Chains A and B, each alone.
Chain A
């Protein structure tokens, strides 16, 4: 398996499979709901792409797919840049 394949697989998962993800609350959210402390949560930072939906895209599925692809690319890009930091010149 070529390592580079993994990026393509990641983009397929984040850009296509993500549409079929369950919309049920996750474990922590569900516990917070059941035990009545979800309202303690505050959101003072909305993020650039809130709720994994690309803003300004009418179709919900497309918005999720785009958000997923962009997110996977950002993580990939930042970690790739990180390689240059590790490689940087010592003074």
Chain B
């Protein structure tokens, strides 16, 4: 579902770049806060006088848990990049592949998930010309903001119910693919490339099938790699 340049117009592209940058800054700051701990200068000053000049006082250091999560972020980023290369045939000459935005969110947390999927999309666009550079903002919005953040918050909401956890994960992973395709189609329609009535049903229809692959892969990968679910 990687939009190339030209399919959405420049205004839409630039608008989504701004939106994506905003979300990425927010997620960076959220992630930093959750993974690091600040060494409080005043405590040290009380202990041994004016030690405030010491560089240790001014650092945000990764906690042990933070280091582990950073490492897992890099590992799962590589995994999602690899899995996105594996197109599986769906129907009548069409293929699909995992998005993984929700898989990342459910294992790393929504903000870390958004950062990782954005990095995957950026590398795909810059190095492999898979997805346009101008369209990167829209692609990050569809497959990151919608799939990781949107998916995660829906998952938390549905977790209140008594449904089995993996039923919720499966359902939400399917819905993130369909929602991403809906937003993708709306962006194409808004750009005036083609009528909404032509692109929206076609995109949603094919991605409701591709989404079944997402369900299977998401559940399978979490189980097979014994990934722990993120507990915010």
A86 pairs with B62, CB closer than 8 A: yes
Which of B60, B94, B96, B129 is close to A50, meaning CB atoms less than 8 Å apart? B129
Residues of A within 8 A of B66 (CB): 86
A1-44: which have CB < 8 Å to B?
A: 1, 3-7, 9-11, 13-14, 17-18, 20-28, 30-32, 34-37, 40-44
Is A91 a contact of B58 with CB atoms below 8 Å?
Answer: yes
Q: Among B72, B86, B120, point to the contact of A13 (Cβ < 8 A).
A: B86
Interface of B is mostly: helix
A79 at the A/B interface (Cβ < 8 Å)? Answer: yes
Q: Within A26-74, which residues are at the interface with B (CB < 8 Å)?
A: 26-28, 30-32, 34-37, 40-52, 67-68, 70-74
Smallest beta-carbon distance B103→chain A, Å: 12
Min CB distance A68 to B, Å, is 5
Interface residues on B, range: 35 or more
Q: Which residue of B lies closest to A5 (CB)?
A: B225
Whether A30 pairs with B206 at a CB distance below 8 angstroms is: yes
Of A3, A11, A20, A73, the residue contacting B71 (CB under 8 A) is A3
Q: Does B166 contact A (CB under 8 A)?
A: no
- Which of B14-22, B44-52, B77-85, B147-155 interfaces with chain A? B77-85
Please tell me if the beta carbons of B88 and A37 are within 8 angstroms of each other in the complex. no
Residues of B within 8 A of A5 (CB): 225
Residues on the B chain within 8 Å of A24, using CB = 87, 89-90, 93-95
A84 CB to nearest chain B CB (Å): 9
Contacts of A52 in B (CB 8 A): 85, 128, 130
Q: Inside 8 A of B94's CB, which chain A residues have their CB?
A: 24-27, 30
Which B residues lie within 8 Å of A51 (CB)?
Answer: 128-129
What are 10 A-B pairs with beta-carbon distances under 8 A? A3-B68, A3-B71, A10-B78, A24-B90, A37-B188, A45-B132, A45-B133, A71-B81, A86-B31, A86-B62
With A7-B78, A26-B94, A47-B125 known, 10 other A-B pairs at CB within 8 A are: A5-B225, A10-B82, A21-B95, A27-B90, A31-B199, A41-B6, A51-B129, A72-B79, A74-B127, A76-B78
Chain B residues packing against A (C-beta within 8 Å): 1-7, 31-32, 35-36, 38, 55, 58-62, 66-68, 70-83, 85-90, 93-97, 115-116, 119-120, 123-130, 132-133, 181, 184-185, 188, 193-194, 198-199, 202-203, 206-207, 210, 225-226
